[in-house]
Amino acid sequence: MMQQIDTEAEKKEILKRYRNLLKACKPTKEGKKTIRQAFDTALEAHSEMRRKSGEPYIYHPIAVAQIVAEEIGLSTTSVVAALLHDVVEDTDTTLEDIERMFGSKVATIVDGLTKISGVFDQTSSLQAENFRKMLLTLSDDVRVILIKLADRLHNMRTLDSMPREKQLKISSETKYLYSPLAHRLGLYAIKTELEDLALKYTEPEIFKSIARSLQQTKRDRNKFIGEFTDPIKEELTKQGFTFSIKGRPKSINSISSKMRKQGVPFEEIFDLFAIRIVIDSPIENEKSDCWRVYSIVTDFYHPNPDRLRDWISTPKANGYESLHTTVMGPNGKWVEVQIRSNRMDEIAEKGYAAHWKYKESTTENALDEWINRIREMLENPESNALDFIDEFKLNLFADEIFVFTPKGELRKLPSNSTSLDFAFDIHTDVGYKCIGAKVNHKLVPLSYKLKSGDQIEVITSSKQTPKEDWLNYVTTAKAKSRIKDALKEEKRKIAEDGKAMLQRKFKHLKITFNTNNVNELLAHYRIASPLDLYYRIAIGSLDVKDLKDFTHDKDNIKAKVPHPKADSHSFEQMVKNIRGSSDMLVIGDRMDKFDYKLSPCCSPIPGDDVFGFITINEGIKIHRTNCPNAIELMSNYAYRIVKARWTNQKEIAFLVGINITGIDEVGVVNNITMVISNELKVNMRSISIESNDGIFEGTIMLFVHDTDHLTMMMDKLKSVEGILTVNRIDSN
């Protein structure tokens, strides 16, 4: 029976949400009128639509506008665009209508937020194309991205009503693209929430377990924070500071990353929270006041000299300014302390959006510089959308180093940048001609990795040209794309010679040089483009004398040995066939139609949460949903993902690796093998154990039936005396 909808109650709720929105953005009288008009337009346009949860669709644009106003701090134009962001895509309202009613600025933003519709070939990624389109508008108006992040945040907050495969796809996109973007724009609160929500859906068990542990340890944590901050508060008050101190837990995602990286359980992660001291200080005294607070903190607690981060003297590229130190607190616990002014705190929370408020700050310059780099990347017509996103990501999440030119000018580069990256950062032509560099007056090769504080002088030669292996030496997107451009140009020049050679041969054999005949050669030699064909002829890897193996029929050539024509639609057909055959791939059933393999990058076993990925040449590959490659695959190739589940396969054994550490006592190896072979009746393929100064570390490869079997065995091993940790190896 259909549930009765209480339209009166819904109308009241819509009005209540609209009033809350007005409270959040505090518009002028004129602004209020425009927001009302946008709200009425959206309400009318979406009147017949409902979300997956069954709620009226209008709840979504109001919520996005609320995030834009309250959590990002944007004003009327952005709130109007947020209310209208789905109108053009989902209803009969056109972009021209929006421009007529609200002006060209709002229309441009709404256009940037409207997804590309139309037919795409199956091998391109619609998600990547949409992302690139959105970034094109970023060059004109950064508000497009900020509203898109608000849209994504609300979708992630309401992801519960979506089917599982949609949850995985949207969470993967979020982790792969949107969370790094929020980080780059300095929106730390949004970036953290996006990452936590993505973890909630990609690895629900880990998320729940950490959230539970954080809840259970909350009281102890608060008590510790109180003990830690009391003496600092007293001294700050005595010295006349106006301040606030917050103790906030680290995000669930960052705790999970630490546990994975360090291979330790929740109980052994000590820096579960950070203390933030925010002072009220005029802009001209901020720096010295922050250092005074640092001095007070370190009078009470010993700092770790390796963990001091000064982002006040040299802010991050997204404008983030703060002083971070890690000190030894009570009970032998390390505590991270962040010290900043109110202005710095607002920029840290609201990122790019806060820079309008503080026009004089460094934020604007740093972010404008970054947007100019994106503009440069977008101007490269050659790159396809997926290449573009790979290059774009290179510049998103990278930590930075600070280096100097010979004249002392400061340059910021991503960490792991090389002397060749630095040369391209100075100027493309300097990069092309670079033969080496002097770092701190010592000669170094092109591949030399720079460190913060290095001073670099580039050495050039007019005879130098870019080489293929340069791509292995560089980290920055700019250097990579410039090198690729130069190599393509070089290839084009060489291909011109190959084309001339082929034309001469055709002329000699009295064959017309036309598209049909060139296509016949491409099909026969399995070559993707005429450029590649001409290039291979020019460098001699394909001999034009082979043309005698073709028959000439009325000016058309045909290969004497027939070749199977590649069906241009075979891949798309394969995707359709698999998708059509079943919505769910069942692993373990007889697969007469399609071949599948268990992917070696994450070694899935029955019981793991998995999906199938349709490859071009190797059938279907089964990956775990928390596989290191899963996020990228689901983000960029969603149309090639198939749902998958296991059948009951007790008779089949799967190879899995576990890592063990412990105290090297006599007989410990014997105890381990006894548990595995005798108690659990599990077959081992290999065991290797290395001992070093009383501690051993070992890897065991063994056969199990499923995840329950593996978990039981790992629990048994943990109970063996002398064993410290037992972890599954995520990839071979």
User: CB under 8 Å to 223, separation ≥6 — which residues?
Assistant: none
**Tokens 């004003």 sit on residue:** 75
DSSP of 410-466: EEEEETT-BHHHHHHHH-HHHHHTEEEEEETTEEE-TTPBP-TT-BEEEEE-TT---
Three-state SS at 112: helix
* Neighbouring C-beta atoms of residue 23, cutoff 10 Å: 10
End-to-end CA distance of the chain: 52
Per the CB < 8 A criterion, the answer to whether 495 and 535 are in contact is yes
**Tokens 């199990």 sit on residue:** 704
Query: Is 368 part of the annotated catalytic residue set?
Result: no
Q: Is 585 left (phi over 0), alpha (psi -120 to 50) or beta?
A: beta
Give me the catalytic one of 89, 489, 549, 567.
89
**Tokens 């009951």 sit on residue:** 648
> How far is the CA of 367 from the CAs of 66, 350, 361, 611, in angstroms?
25, 13, 11, 38
What backbone torsions phi and psi does residue 681 show, to the nearest 5 degrees? 55, 45
Three-state SS at 326: strand
Query: Is 289 part of the annotated catalytic residue set?
Result: no
Give me the catalytic one of 10, 90, 97, 349.
90
- Among 578, 585, 625, 571, smallest CA distance to 601 is for 625
Q: How many residues does the chain have?
A: 732
Three-state SS at 14: helix
Strand ranges, E, within 280-382:
302-303, 309-310, 323-328, 334-341
Tell me which residues are annotated as active site: 89-90
